[in-house]
Amino acid sequence: MILQIALSLTLTPPTSPPDTWFGSDKLKHFFVAAFTQSVTYSALQAARVHHDAALAGAWAVTGAVSVAKEVHDRRSYGLFSVKDLVWDAAGAGTATLLIRRSVRTRRDDSVSAAAISAFMSPASVLSGVAPRPIFTAGTHPNVAPRR
């Protein structure tokens, strides 16, 4: 009888854990995709690629890495998870939102420079704090775009 149980256990295929929406690896997918998105964007920006093209390139690389990981999982473990890809897209989307909110574009720079000059000059603000004015009247700090 022990031989029959042992034989039946060795002949049954291993069961893979169920693929749930909130499984243990979903946070890993989210953060690795966000990391891939931000590092790729930064690398493309360092190579002087325009902002919008760098975001598109980062999406392409993140998508390729995500699909390649699922193809690897399919070949290795027999499971291609669309839910993992959804979490990857959520991570990449979150990284894109953070990048868009933190990176200034030329349009943002021109608006902020116009707002500074229309509201008040830095010289009038700093001259009340410092014993001597740091800026002379009519000059503004050089606001250069981060590129």
Q: What is the pLDDT of residue 18?
A: 75
**Domain-by-domain residue ranges, the chain?**
23-103, 106-147
Amino acid identity of residue 106, one-letter, is R
Are 38 and 99 spatial neighbours (Cβ–Cβ below 8 Å)?
yes
Q: What is the pLDDT of residue 20?
A: 87
Q: What is the pLDDT of residue 17?
A: 67
Is residue 14 pLDDT above 80, yes or no?
Answer: no
In tens, the pLDDT along 52-110 reads 999 999 999 999 999 999 999 999 988 899 999 999 999 999 999 999 998 876 665 55
* pTM score of the predicted model: 0.61
| Residue 58: exposure state from Cβ atoms within 10 A (0-12, 13-18, ≥19) | buried
Instruction: Tell me the C-alpha distance between 121 and 101, whole Å.
Output: 26
Q: What is the pLDDT of residue 106?
A: 66
